[in-house]
Structure 1
Amino acid sequence: MSERSAPPGGLALVQDLVNTLDIETGGDALDTAGGREPFGLTEGDAGSARELRESLRATLLAHAGHPPHREVTPLGDLLARAPLVVTVDTADGSAALAPVDDGPLLSRIAAAVAEAVTAGTWNRLKACEAVTCHWAYYDRSPAGRGRWCSMQVCGARAKMRRYRAKGA
């Protein structure tokens, strides 16, 4: 849906998971084997992946200043279950959180969030404010005040609704 560029680092995984659901059409990529394959998920994993996806979406809506779209399990509660290890680069001494044995999706998401928090990019991953969209996007605007995944689609619709509401 969006013409925006991919987010930095592991945030692409977060964005890809959130964007497996097209709210406008109801299409859910996690319903198919092909849609689950990029995340290493089985059909049995789909329910927990959906729970994680909607908790992420609620957090991304909060990043954009919007209330949650519905009641969800708090993201912190889910990420607390993720098996992670601290890795240390012997060349430069830098440390990072990493999934245990390339771990399950939850661990990979937790590691991506930790990396983004450290890099200062986490709050720039947002969900579109359009209620029929809520697509995840990375806000590259200088002030960090982006509101829509696409100015040409969701932004234009919102502006047209405001224009019409003024009675013009």
Structure 2
Amino acid sequence: MSERSPAPGGLELVEALVNTLLNVETGADSLDTPEVRERFGLTEDDLPAARELRESLRATLLAHAGHPPHRTVTPLGELLAAAPLVVTVETADGSAALAPVREGSLTARVAAAVAEALVAGSWSRFKACEAPDCHWAYYDRSPAGRGRWCSMQVCGARAKMRRYRAKES
């Protein structure tokens, strides 16, 4: 779990979604709670698609960090294709933005956040932790963009300790 500051811009929504708790051992998923569903504007009928989107995002973020996905998922591009974007232009100041054709759905909001991050150049720094028991999403603010763990104090320290112990064996 990360002590880092939230991802910039719309990526904060994506980070919050990817970091909804899924206990691999018990199968408990915080998306099943009314509070978390409300946070993302989901109904119970939306949960299968939200879970699929979350795991596809996680696989993409693992790829950003140079790691293989932890399971087979629907490619993110296929899921986001269901939420087309349009260019909007403000008449008052001429500013332009990408916005979902159909507002409101979680997939549409994620598609807009990804597009915003692509334009800002921040998408490739959005990653998932290398630790196999974590895979928490984080925004890599390291100068070289080579961060590997959501937390150097927790996941990074554990990995380094495992490597150290393996050398002593």
Could you say which TM-score interval applies, normalised by the shorter chain? over 0.9
1:125/1:138 contact within 8 Å kept: yes
2:83/2:111 contact within 8 Å kept: yes
Q: Deviations over 1:115-143 (max 9, x none)?
A: 00000000111000000000000000000
Partner residue of 1:7? 7
**Residues 1:79 and 2:76 are matched in the alignment:** no
When the two structures are aligned, how many residues end up with a matched partner? 168
| 2:130 partner SS | coil
| 1:114 partner SS | helix
Kindly provide the amino acid, as one letter, of the partner of residue 146 in structure 2.
R
Partner residue of 2:155? 154
Q: Which runs of 4+ in 1 moved over 4 A?
A: 23-26
Kindly provide the amino acid, as one letter, of the partner of residue 87 in structure 1.
T
Partner residue of 1:34? 35
**Equivalences for residues 12-91 of structure 1 within 5 A:** 12-23=12-23, 26-91=27-92
| 1:102 partner SS | coil
| 2:60 partner SS | helix
Assess, with a 3 A threshold, how the Cα gap between structure 1 residues 52 and 152 changes in structure 2: closer, same or farther.
same
Per-residue deviation at 1:29?
A: 1.2
Kindly provide the amino acid, as one letter, of the partner of residue 167 in structure 2.
K
Q: Deviations over 1:131-159 (max 9, x none)?
A: 00000000000000000001111001000
Measured in 2, the distance between the counterparts of 1:36 and 1:51 equals 15
| 1:21 partner SS | coil
Structure 1: runs of 5+ lacking an equivalent: none
Kindly provide the amino acid, as one letter, of the partner of residue 4 in structure 1.
R
Per-residue deviation at 1:79?
A: 0.4
Percent of paired sites with the same residue: 77
2:83/2:102 contact within 8 Å kept: no
Structure 2: runs of 5+ lacking an equivalent: none
C-alpha RMSD of the superposition: 1.5
Normalising to structure 1: TM-score of the pair? 0.94
1:23/1:132 contact within 8 Å kept: no
Normalising to structure 2: TM-score of the pair? 0.94
- The more displaced of 61-70 and 99-108 is 99-108
| 1:129 partner SS | coil
Measured in 2, the distance between the counterparts of 1:55 and 1:119 equals 22
2:90/2:96 contact within 8 Å kept: yes
